[in-house]
Amino acid sequence: MRARAADGWGNGGDWTESGPVTIIPHLDEDGDPIGNVWYVHQHPKPAGWSDEKWAEHLQKAGGRTWTSAFHYLGHAAQTAADGDAVVCGRGEYLDWGPGHYGPFRGVTLRSVASGDAATRAATRFPFRTLMLRGPRCKVLGLTVLDAHLVGRATARDTAGNLAADSYDDTDNKLAVVRCEGSVRASWWGSGVYDVEIVRSKLTSLSLDLGSRGGRVKTSGNSFTGDATVDTYTDLPGSVKVDVIDNATTGASLVVVLRNWSSDAGMSPGAVTIKSSTLEDGGISCEGIPGPASARVTGDEVSQAPSYGLQLKTLSPLTVSDNRIATTGERGIYVCWCGKKGQLGKVFGNEVRDCPGGGMLVQDSWADVHHNTLASNGGDDVAGGGIGVEGWPYDLVVRANQILDNLGSGGGGVAVHGSCALHDNTIRGNRGAQGGGVCVGNSWGEGELRANQVLANQAVEGGGVFYQNGFWSNPGAFCENAIQENTADRGGGVWVCGGSVVRNLIERNHARGSGGGVYVAWDTVTVEPDAVVANNVIAGNTAVSGGGVCYGDGFWGAGRLDGGATDR
Amino acid sequence: MGSGEPVGSTGVPLIGNTIVRNLADKGGGIYLATRKTPGGPVAAMRNCIVTDARRGGGVQMEPDVRMYLWYTDVFANAGGDYVGLPNQTGLNGNLSVNPRYADLAGGDYHLKSQAGRWVPGSGTWVKDDETSLCIDAGDPASPFDREPPPNGGRVNMGADGNTEEASKSFTGMMLGHVPASGQTNMSTKTAVMITFRWTVQEGSVEQRFPLTPAGGSPVPGRFAWGRANRAVTFIPTKPLQGLTPYTVTLAKNVQRLDGTVLDWSESFSFTTGASAFGALAVTATAGQTASGGAAITVDLSSAANVAVTVLNVGGASWPNCRVRSAIGPQHSALGWSVSSGHSGAARSLPDADHGPRRRRPAEPGAGGRQPGTLTALEPAARAAMGGCSGRNPARAARSTKWS
Report chain A residues whose CB lies below 8 A from the CB of B32: 545, 549-551
- Check if A551 contacts B (Cβ < 8 Å): yes
* Rounded distance between C-alpha atoms, residue B188 and residue B217, angstroms: 16
Count Cβ–Cβ pairs < 8 Å, chain A vs chain B: 158
Categorize the per-residue pLDDT at A79 as very low, low, confident or very high, splitting at 50, 70 and 90.
low
Chain A residues touching residue B65 (CB < 8 angstroms)? 550
Mind telling me how many Å the CA of A454 is from chain B's nearest CA? 17
Residue A538 within a domain: yes
In a domain, A440, yes or no: yes
Pairing of strands A395-398, A413-417: unpaired
Q: Residue A178 domain-assigned? A: no
Which of A271-275, A374-378, B10-14, B151-155 is the least confident region? B10-14
Question: Taking the alpha carbons of B182, B186, B188, B194 in that order, is the dihedral positive or negative?
Answer: negative
How many C-beta neighbours within 10 Å does residue B293 have?
A: 18
Judge: A522–B37 Cβ closer than 8 Å, yes or no.
Answer: yes
Give the span between the Cα atoms of A332 and A311, in whole angstroms.
8
Name the B residues in 90-109 with CB < 8 Å from any A CB.
107, 109
Boundary-marking domain end, from A163, A178, A200 = A163
ipTM, two decimals: 0.76
Query: Residue A128: inside a domain, yes or no?
Result: yes
Place A114 in a pLDDT band, splitting at 50, 70 and 90. very low
Probe site for chain A from B7, B15, B17 (most A CB atoms < 10 A): B17
CA torsion, ordered A273, A277, A278, A284, to nearest 10 deg: 10
| A360 found inside a domain | no
Pick from A290, A321, A288, A283: which is nearest to A304 by CA?
A283
Last residue within a domain, chosen from A121, A141, A163: A163
Q: B77 falls in which pLDDT band (50, 70, 90)?
A: very high
Domains, chain B, ordered by start: 14-83 (no CATH), 181-272 (2.60.40.3710), 280-403 (no CATH)
Query: What value does the mean pLDDT take over residues A36-43?
Result: 51
- Per residue in A439-497, pLDDT (tens digit) is 986 677 788 999 999 999 999 999 999 986 567 677 789 999 999 999 999 999 998 87
Average pLDDT over residues B257-263: 87
pLDDT at A283 over 90: yes
Q: How many C-beta atoms lie closer than 10 Å to residue A275's C-beta?
A: 18
Q: What is the pLDDT of residue A169?
A: 79
Closest approach of A528 to chain B, Cα-based (Å): 10
Q: Which of residues 188-227 of A touch B (CB under 8 A)?
A: none
* Secondary structure in 3-state letters for chain B: CECCCCCCCCCCCEECCEEECCEEEECCCEEECCCCCCCCCCEEEECCEEECCCECCCEEECCCCCEEEECCEEECCCCCCEECCCCCCCCCCCECCCCCEEECCCCEEEECCCCCEEECCCCEEECCCCCCCCCCCCCCCCCCCCCCCCCCCCCCCCCCCCCCCCCCCCCCCEEEEECCCCEEEECCCCCEEEEECCCECHHHHHCCCCEEECCCCCCCEEEEEECCCCEEEEEECCCCCCCCEEEEEECCCEEECCCCEECCCEEEEEEECCCCCCCCEEEEECCCCCCCCCEEEEECCCCCEECCCCECCCCCECCCCCCCCCECHHHHHHCCCCCCCCCCCCCCCCHHHHCCCCCCCCCCCCCCCCCCCCCCCCHHHHHHCCCCCCCCHHHHHHCCEEC
Does A521 contact B35 at a Cβ distance shorter than 8 Å?
Answer: yes
User: Measured between alpha carbons, how far is B225 from A324 in angstroms, rounded to an integer?
Assistant: 82
CB atoms within 10 A of CB B230: 16
- For B283, phi then psi, to 5°, come to -130, 155
Averaged confidence pLDDT in chain B: 71
| Residue ranges making up the domain that contains A554 | 378-567
Whether residue B109 and residue A546 make contact (CB cut-off 8 A), yes or no, is: no
Closest CA to B218 of B195, B249, B192: B249
Instruction: Choose the weakest-confidence range: A100-104, A257-261, A288-292.
Output: A100-104
pLDDT for the residue B315: 36
Instruction: Verify whether the Cβ–Cβ distance B12 to A495 is below 8 Å.
Output: yes
Inside any domain, residue A5: yes
* Overall number of domains in chain A: 2
Min CA distance, B302 vs chain A (Å)? Answer: 45
Is A81 in contact with A35 (CB distance < 8 Å)?
yes
Mind telling me how many Å the CA of B288 is from chain A's nearest CA? 29
Nearest CA in chain A to B31: A545
**Residue A327: inside a domain:** no
Per-residue pLDDT at B289 exceeds 60: no
Measured on CA atoms in the order A82, A83, A84, A86, is the torsion positive or negative?
Answer: positive
Q: Are A478 and A498 in contact (CB under 8 A)?
A: no
For residue B371, the model assigns a pLDDT of 32
What's the confidence (pLDDT) of residue A482?
98
Tell me the average pLDDT of chain A.
Answer: 79
Query: Is the minimum CB–CB distance between A508 and chain B shorter than 8 Å?
Result: no
Q: How far is A539 from chain B (nearest CA, A)?
A: 4
| 8 Å CB contact of A534 and B161 | yes
Reported as a pLDDT band with limits 50, 70 and 90, residue B263 is: confident
Instruction: Kindly report which listed range (A349-363, B71-85, B273-287) carries the lowest average pLDDT score.
Output: B273-287
Check residue A78 and report its DSSP letter.
H
Q: Is the pLDDT of residue A422 over 90?
A: yes
Which residue does chain A place closest to B54, by CA atoms?
A539
Domain boundary among A133, A163, A193: A163
The shortest CB-CB distance from B19 to any of A500, A542, A547 is to: A547
Pairwise CB contact (< 8 Å): A534 & B50: no
Q: What percentage of residues in chain B have a pLDDT greater than 90?
A: 43
Pairing of strands A430-433, B254-255: unpaired
* B33 lies within 8 A of chain A by CB: yes
Looking at chain A, which residue has its C-alpha nearest residue B108? A536
Interface test with A, best of B5, B9, B15, B22 (most A CBs within 10 A): B22
φ, ψ for residue B150, nearest 5 deg: -80, 130
Interface of B with A in 159-178 (CB under 8 A): 159-163
Inter-chain residue contact B22 with A546, CB threshold 8 Å: yes
Q: Does B3 touch chain A (CB under 8 A)?
A: no
Whether A389 is covered by a domain: the verdict is yes
Lowest mean pLDDT among A27-36, A278-287, B279-288: B279-288
